[in-house]
Every structure is written in C-alpha cells, then in structure tokens.
Amino acid sequence: MSTSTQPATTTLRGADVIAAIKRAGVRFVVALPDRTISEKVLKPMLADPEFKVVQVCKEDEGISICSGLYATGHRAVMMMQHTGLLDSVNALRGVAMEGKNPVCMIVGLLNKGQPGVAPKDSKAYGVRIVEPVLDALGITHQLVETAGDVEKIAPAIENAYATQTPVVLMIGTEPQ
C-alpha cells in the first residue's frame, strides 16, 4: 500500500528508476534489501535477465564488489538502506573516496517522511544525519522522490564514472 500523497503525475515509479539505471549502462546490481525500494525496484531487477544481481550479507562488501567490477570495466549500482550506508563509512572512506572508485549507491531513506520533507527535516534521526555524513566524507548526493527526479539518475552515474568518484542517490519515497 502506498504511503505517498503525491499526485499521480509526479509519483516516482520503480520501472522508471530501473530504466534510468539501464540507460546508464549498468548491468550489475549489488544489493541488500531496503523496504523502500525492495518491492518495485529490487524484486523486478532480480527477475530481469538483463541484470546480474549479487546479493551481499553486508553493505561494505558491496562497495568493494562494485570497485572490483569497475576494475574490470563494468558498471554497477549498490542498493541498500541508509542504515547500511552509515554502517559502511570506513569503506566509503577508504575504498570509494581514497581509492577513487565510482561506486554508485541507490539508498532508501526508510521513514524519511512524506515527499517534500527534506532529509534534514525528517523526524528520523538516522535519516537526518545521512546528508551531513556524506558531506563530511565529500560524497555527492541527490534526492530522488518524484517522477521528475528520475532524470537525475543516469547523468549522476555517468558523472561518477567520468570522474572516478562515488555518488549516492537517495530514494526518498517508496516507488510505485
């Protein structure tokens, strides 16, 4: 059941997120499930023969797997919950940033609140600190929670690979 109050024309759709990831040339997906994005993004990807999905036990593994894939010429995205991102700060520091690896992360902001509520204004402490932590690490981040935001995805991934820098795309609401 949707918790969104967005008008239908601005509703974020999982199929559009997936299409944008494909447009960016990504075929490897490394993932731990997050309730925000499991149903309409991860589960369809698991069933999509165009994707090779690697399920991991912990999020920092995924940051390294994406880096190994980059070293062999492949593009990947790492999907996880914001709690896993916070748990992976040392890998973000050493593997993604110092190692100059273009790790592209799709991060669900579980319990952020309704679309339009900025992460910094969320009632959830864990969500409020995501952007400050990423800013301290020097990692670029963008919020994706409306249909129009989907257009940010492919350019963000392209830029990450062009500049050998990680990027976090925060999914602020459950896609439909």
* Residues in CB range of 87: below 8 A, 6 or more apart: 58, 59, 60
90 binds another protein, rule: CB under 8 A = yes
The torsion of the CA quartet 97, 60, 104, 112, rounded to 10 degrees, works out to: -110
Stretch near another protein under the rule CB under 8 A, chosen from 6-14, 41-49, 86-94, 138-146: 86-94
8 A C-beta contact, residue 144 and residue 170? yes
Residues 46-85 binding another protein (CB under 8 A) are 52, 54-58, 60-74, 76
**Total site size for another protein, rule CB under 8 A:** 34
- For another protein, the closer of residues 15 and 71 by Cβ is 71
Q: Which tokens is 19 given? A: 């299409």
Question: What is the rounded distance in angstroms from the CA atom of residue 18 to the CA atom of residue 49?
Answer: 13
> Closest distance between another protein and the C-beta of residue 30, in Å?
8
> Closest distance between another protein and the C-beta of residue 85, in Å?
15
104 binds another protein, rule: CB under 8 A = no
- For another protein, the closer of residues 7 and 73 by Cβ is 73
Q: How far is CA 8 from CA 4, 12, 157, 170, in A?
A: 10, 9, 27, 21
- Residue 105 has φ and ψ, to the nearest 5°, of -115, 130
What is the binding site for another protein (CB under 8 A)? Answer: 28, 52, 54-58, 60-74, 76, 90-91, 93-96, 98-101, 164
